[in-house]
Amino acid sequence: MLLAAKTDPDQGARGVSLLLVDTQTPGYSRGRRLEKLGMHAQDTSELFFTDVDVGPDALLGPAGSGFKTMMKELPQERLLLAIAAVAAMESAVQWTRDHVAQRQAFGAPLSDKQTIRHRLAECHTNTLVARSFLNDCLGRHLAGELDNATASAAKYWCSEMQFKVLDECLQLFGGYGYMREYPIARAWVDARVQRIYGGTTEIMKELVARSMF
């Protein structure tokens, strides 16, 4: 496993190193599987390192370079989260369009109701805007020009919009949307953490703001 550890606590960020730890090493153990609100397809567990001993050959890169290495990869990580956000939005709009076209209310499909059509049109438009922004960021990334501030903006805006669109789509599903057997319910629950991991929305806004002054 890849482990970020403080190999020199007195050096702050410069004292963080990346270590490759064999999970068969004596002292390493995995605790209980934590019960998350969503993302149930991914196990999350407590990890314990009781007197685990590793040598210099476990270092990935120079000692003390771990924090710098992780920071260097953050724009790509945040771009990946933006990709997941936009993909979830596109799927949700498609699921909801199919549902309202089939679901009957007062003798006609829900899609015949102007309020339903307009709310779904808003979701569709927000998704198109998110996709356009994402594609621009992907182009910058492929050209080696994606800066941290823009990646942070993409991560926070796309993930915030993801939750907004999925919440609206779940509403249009009605009671069905509250049932876990429907993908919109699972996608809605999974969307909540998108605004937290990889850097919270609040941190992302601060990084964007710092680039402006």
Nearest residue to 31 (alpha-carbon basis) of 48, 17, 55: 48
- Note the pLDDT of residue 96: 98
The reply to whether 2-58 and 73-210 are identical in fold is no
Q: Could you give the CA distance from residue 198 to residue 155 in angstroms, rounded to a whole number? A: 8
Burial degree of 191 (CB within 10 A; 0-12, 13-18, 19+)? buried
What is the enclosing helix (H) or strand (E) of 186? helix 183-191
Superfamily of domain 73-210: Butyryl-CoA Dehydrogenase, subunit A, domain 3 (1.20.140.10)
Nearest residue to 60 (alpha-carbon basis) of 88, 31, 19: 19
Strand 16-20 and strand 28-33: pairing?
A: unpaired
Domain 2-58 has CATH 2.40.110.10: yes
Residue positions annotated with a catalytic role: 77
Alpha-helical (H) ranges within 103-192 are: 114-142, 148-173, 183-191
* Token pair of 21 as six digits: 């730890």
Q: Where are the domains of the chain?
A: 2-58, 73-210
- Note the pLDDT of residue 71: 87
pLDDT, one tens digit per residue, over 15-31 is 999 999 999 999 999 99
pTM for the full predicted model: 0.90
Neighbour tally for 196: CB within 10 Å: 12
- Note the pLDDT of residue 113: 95
pLDDT, one tens digit per residue, over 51-92 is 999 989 999 999 999 999 998 888 999 999 999 999 999 999
* Token pair of 205 as six digits: 């806004």
Each residue's pLDDT tens digit in the chain (213 positions)?
A: 999 999 999 999 999 999 999 999 999 999 999 999 999 888 999 999 999 999 899 999 999 999 999 988 889 999 999 999 999 999 999 999 999 999 999 999 999 999 999 999 999 999 999 999 999 999 999 999 999 999 999 999 999 999 999 999 999 999 999 999 999 999 999 999 999 999 999 999 999 999 999
